[in-house]
A and B are shown apart, each in its own frame.
Chain A
Amino acid sequence: EAGVAQSPRYKIIEKRQSVAFWCNPISGHATLYWYQQILGQGPKLLIQFQNNGVVDDSQLPKDRFSAERLKGVDSTLKIQPAKLEDSAVYLCASSLVGGTSTDTQYFGPGTRLTVL
């Protein structure tokens, strides 16, 4: 079974530029998550989708971050404009159902973003 796919793996941009990350979850998984992992910290949830609807985006900085999950499969996370403090690894995860707290989340390899 293929895992969660993410691209690109690495991205370097200058502050005030825009950037987009792509995620393809495990086939059949209804729920998709985007996390931000700053160096030395654990992942922090940015947004959770169930199918193509947003379940939780309370920690997404909506003035600069946006995300969509068209057709309930792939997802894109965008940052515009980027700030220095956005330098982090952006992890995508998926789970089979997601409506229950017991669901296991499976993570992709992440995209390492460096903002100069």
Chain B
Amino acid sequence: AQSVAQPEDQVNVAEGNPLTVKCTYSVSGNPYLFWYVQYPNRGLQFLLKYITGDNLVKGSYGFEAEFNKSQTSFHLKKPSALVSDSALYFCAVRSSSGNTPLVFGKGTRLSVIA
């Protein structure tokens, strides 16, 4: 069965500092990995995805994520955090084997402090 772990419920970072939101996964077959962001009272917005190829994926709003197969991780990063980045971030995984559902982690709340 597929699963995603986001080990931190909350991440606090000062504005201008780099940020990392952690994600590890478990899946049979090759993983397809996604990051979404959720602002209050809004749906999930797609940030980026890893399908194949370069392990470093660049996405929207200056975010990037690094796929590490040996560590089964897909951490989200940004070089310089903004207060407006404060939101709930979800990592999700889908298996390359068949039409399996997209499975989400429980989310990490990012708080960027001015």
User: How many pairs, one residue from A and one from B, have CB atoms within 8 Å of each other in the complex?
Assistant: 58
Residues of B within 8 A of A115 (CB): none
Q: How far is the CA of A82 from the CA of B32 in the complex (A)?
A: 35
Report the count of interface residues on A (CB-CB < 8 A): 25
Contact of A42 with B43 in the complex, beta carbons under 8 Å? no
- The secondary structure that dominates the A interface is loop
- Separation of A109 and B36 alpha carbons in the complex (Å): 13
**Could you tell me which B residues sit within 8 Å of A by CB distance?**
4, 32, 34, 36, 41-46, 49, 51, 90, 92, 94-96, 98-107
Indicate whether A49 reaches chain B with its CB closer than 8 angstroms.
Answer: no
A101 touches B96 (CB 8 A): yes
B102:A105 contact, CB within 8 angstroms: yes
A interface list, Cβ under 8 A from B = 4, 6, 40-45, 48, 55-56, 59, 91, 93, 99, 101-102, 104-110, 112
**Knowing A44-B104, A101-B32 touch, does A109 contact B43 (C-beta < 8 A)?**
yes
B101 touches A48 (CB 8 A): yes
